[in-house]
Amino acid sequence: FFLLFNMQSVSVLILLAALVACAFGACVSPPSDLNVCPLPAGASIPQEYANTNADRELQSYFNFLEGIKATPTKKCAEAYIAFACSRAYPKCVGDANSGLGLAENTCYYLCSDFTEECRGQLVGVERPNCGQFSVSEDCTGRKLKIASSGASSLSAGFMLAAFAALVALL
């Protein structure tokens, strides 16, 4: 009797885990009001990433940097934003018919570009271990370009947006 009860309990737990995975595993459209991490039309992300938290944190972070007069170079800001947005809003891959999907890992080259371009420029941002990121062609790579008013700094408006998105990632 005890063995039968134990097997039923395990079966119920497995069924519950599968239901939770289905609920959080859907591919959805990204939020439409992303400022720092705008995604192309037709992009899909895993449902659990479908919020503006990361975008707002990046925006707040760059506002902070501007406030303390620690604005990074344009190349550093672009590299960091591309890396942070790729982690915050990964591509969703999976079965299009069922709607289930998984987050595609961030591209190694984005991590590498970020660590090379931003040495010591971003207060409070730890250097990531780039070995955990993907070298496959199917990785998430959100290459975003920013406009600036100067050769080596970001505009105040963009810094605000980028900072908020960064804070969301952390």
pLDDT in tens, 9-56: 544 444 444 444 444 468 899 999 999 999 888 888 999 999 999 999
Give the SS3 label for residue 109.
helix
Rounded CA-CA distance 36/168 in Å is: 11
State pTM to two decimals.
0.69
Inter-residue contact 92 to 45 (CB < 8 Å)? yes
Do 62 and 159 meet the contact criterion of CB atoms below 8 Å apart? yes
Condensed to tens digits (0 to 9), the pLDDT of residues 61-89 reads: 999 999 999 999 999 999 999 999 999 99
Q: Is 124 exposed, middle or buried (0-12, 13-18, 19+ CB in 10 A)?
A: exposed
